Amino acid sequence: MGGTVVEVTEVGLRDGLQAEPRIVPTADKIAVFDALVAAGLRRFEVSSFVSPRAVPQLADAADVLAGIARRPDLTLACLVPNEKGAERAIAAKVDEMVTFVSASESHNRTNVNRPIADSLRGFGEVARMAAAHDIVVHGAVATAFGCPFEGDVAPARVVEIVGRMAAIGIRGVTLGDTTGMATPPIVRAVCGAIRDAHPEIAVTLHFHNTRGIGLVNVMAGLDAGITRFESSVGGLGGCPFAPGATGNISTEDLVYLLDETGHETGIDLAAMLPIARRMEQLVGHPLPGQLMKAGPRLALYPLDAVRRAVG
């Protein structure tokens, strides 16, 4: 398992910030983005072209994209819920549109106020609009490992939705653990089912650390042959439309795990830690990332840096 190259997608500027009540200024978002690029990240979910009224934190999506220095080695993706969002994404010259649907009917209606069938029908038009402008479309399936309203989600249901995406030409799909319901056996079952039914689909895994095993599930994904993961700087984030949702797995914690298990990411771990602390300042509350607090395991301290027992 060791030695493989793993692609990390940074979603902190979108999924991380979307539910934050304190609006982070556009200039600060761009500064964080620039710092993440300097640290070695190359793939980003930058923002979302959802209704600004629904998610005011991301109302500046076009401005953020306009302020970013484009580079040929970067992929800038944005969430696109419908044709109107696709029009805005095209105007902003995104590299990739992310269309999304939930694996459970209840969550899809809560999240986007429409049944799954309607969401899937809308994907076709978004895909046609994107193709006309040479923009890649990436699929995302929320509640792929469990739904907070319906419980377990059958792998066959996820396979069915991925198949509908594949039918309109989507070749990459993210499986989202929206409320941290994934466990290693569930991860292996879902990933195995998709691999068997749709080997042409590149699978990315998106875990939350709601129940403390987000990185355990990453290991299960690696064992299943997955080499693409999404994460958020500082562990920022959580779905605003799912009860009990907490932060995404932390980018720096993920990179630490991958470094320590012999995988390659191209990301400078030391450079990530001040970025996570800066994001904590911007949102105005502690973030759950652990490495930003403890540092890597070989961060040594002088003996006089700690209290000594006397007596």
pLDDT at position 69 is 92
In order of their start, the domains of the chain are: 7-305 (3.20.20.70)
Sign of CA dihedral 220, 224, 225, 231: negative
Local confidence band at 116 (pLDDT 50, 70, 90 cut-offs): confident
pLDDT at position 310 is 66
Element (DSSP H or E) covering residue 256: helix 251-260
Give the C-alpha distances (Å, rounded to integers) separating 94 from 19, 74, 76, 243. Answer: 22, 11, 6, 31
Backbone angles phi, psi at 9, to 5 degrees: -100, 125
pLDDT in tens, 153-201: 999 999 999 999 999 999 999 999 988 999 999 999 999 999 999 999 9
Establish how many alpha carbons lie within 13 A of residue 228's alpha carbon, considering only the half-sphere containing its beta carbon: 15
Which residues are designated catalytic? Answer: 239
DSSP label of 247: P
Does residue 112 contact residue 81 with C-beta atoms inside 8 Å? yes
Give the C-alpha distances (Å, rounded to integers) separating 134 from 32, 92, 96, 137. Answer: 28, 13, 9, 10
Q: 191-212: string of b/e by CB count within 10 Å (b at 16+)?
A: bebbeebbeebebbbbbbbbbe
Residue with tokens 């902003």: 92
pLDDT in tens, 210-267: 999 999 999 999 999 999 999 999 999 865 555 555 789 999 999 999 999 999 999 9
pLDDT in tens, 70-110: 999 999 999 999 999 999 999 999 999 999 999 988 887 87
pLDDT at position 133 is 97
From the list 47, 62, 49, the residue with the least C-alpha distance to 16 is 47
pLDDT at position 259 is 97
Local confidence band at 1 (pLDDT 50, 70, 90 cut-offs): very low
Which percentage of the chain shows pLDDT scores above 90?
81
Backbone angles phi, psi at 5, to 5 degrees: -85, 130
